[in-house]
């Protein structure tokens, strides 16, 4: 467990320092959300209606686009080999890396979402609904992306491959995230069922993601 904490702290520290790119995700998120009113027109009623979907899409892209460096950077400087050879199970090590990535990319997205909700004319309920669903759903995005990061770790041109491989698998998360947010805002369906399915997706990806990523690292690196 000590190694877990050490890896977590190290990854967060690297992300916060110069060249770490911890807040690039939030910046990207802000820009995507800013672009939407230019594309669909500044109709506030329309923006309020599609706002949750825009925030979810922005968060999805911001999470996945940054993930290709998660393991590749460690592979290039050799620290990934040390992590794989260490006594900590690889499954646990990749969970630590994913958690660090979520704390530095996913959590800022959740915190920034209410502020960006103002730009999209969302009221208080809608803002809260989007923030809560993002809080429950973004870990799933990070964990699914973790598989892609492990699959593309040795590829020099893996940058665009990762979203291509992983975006289809994030479709359920997007569906239930937006469904739960919309259920809280306009109804008539209750908020509970889609939200619990969203939580279930996060838990399932917490099981599948680390094992698939560890298997990919074991088999893909030699």
Residue ranges that bind another protein, judged by CB under 8 A: 147, 151-152, 154-155, 157-158, 161, 164-165, 167-169, 171-172, 208, 212, 215-216, 219-220, 222
Q: In Å, how far are 24, 61, 105, 131, 168 from 163, measured between CA atoms?
A: 17, 8, 16, 23, 9
10 Å Cβ neighbour count for 51?
26
Nearer to another protein, 105 or 205 (CB): 205
Q: Are 47 and 38 spatial neighbours (Cβ–Cβ below 8 Å)? A: no
d(CA 111, CA 130): 11
What's the Rg (C-alpha) of the chain? 18
Per DSSP, the three-state class of 21 is: coil
- Smallest separation (angstroms) from another protein to the CB of 215: 5
- Smallest separation (angstroms) from another protein to the CB of 88: 21
- Smallest separation (angstroms) from another protein to the CB of 3: 24
Nearer to another protein, 113 or 198 (CB): 198
Nearer to another protein, 61 or 165 (CB): 165
- Smallest separation (angstroms) from another protein to the CB of 201: 11
Nearer to another protein, 86 or 159 (CB): 159
- Smallest separation (angstroms) from another protein to the CB of 173: 12
- Smallest separation (angstroms) from another protein to the CB of 175: 8
Which residues in the chain belong to E strands, given as ranges?
Answer: none
Within 8 A by CB and 6+ apart from 74, the residues are: 80, 83, 97
Nearer to another protein, 66 or 209 (CB): 209
Nearer to another protein, 42 or 168 (CB): 168
Phi first, then psi, for residue 221 (nearest 5°) are -100, -25
d(CA 86, CA 64): 27
């Amino acid at each position: 467990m000590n190694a877990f904490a050490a890896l977590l702290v190290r990854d967060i520290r690297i992300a916060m320092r110069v060249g770490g790119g911890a807040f690039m995700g939030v910046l990207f998120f802000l820009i995507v959300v800013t672009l939407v009113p230019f594309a669909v027109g500044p109709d506030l009623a329309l923006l309020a209606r599609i706002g949750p979907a825009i925030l979810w899409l922005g968060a999805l892209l911001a999470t996945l686009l940054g993930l290709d460096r998660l393991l590749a950077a460690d592979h290039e400087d050799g620290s990934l080999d040390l992590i794989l050879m260490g006594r900590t199970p690889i499954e646990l090590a990749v969970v630590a890396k994913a958690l660090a990535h979520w704390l530095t990319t996913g959590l800022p997205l959740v915190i920034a979402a209410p502020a960006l909700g103002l730009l999209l004319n969302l009221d208080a309920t809608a803002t809260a609904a989007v923030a809560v669903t993002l809080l429950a759903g973004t870990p799933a995005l990070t964990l699914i992306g973790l598989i892609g990061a492990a699959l593309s770790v040795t590829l020099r041109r893996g940058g665009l491959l990762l979203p291509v491989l992983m975006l289809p698998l994030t479709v359920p998360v997007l569906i239930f995230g937006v469904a739960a947010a919309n259920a809280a805002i306009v109804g008539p369906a209750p908020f509970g069922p889609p939200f619990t399915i969203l939580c279930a997706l996060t838990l399932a990806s917490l099981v599948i993601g680390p094992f698939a990523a560890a298997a990919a690292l074991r088999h893909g690196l030699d």
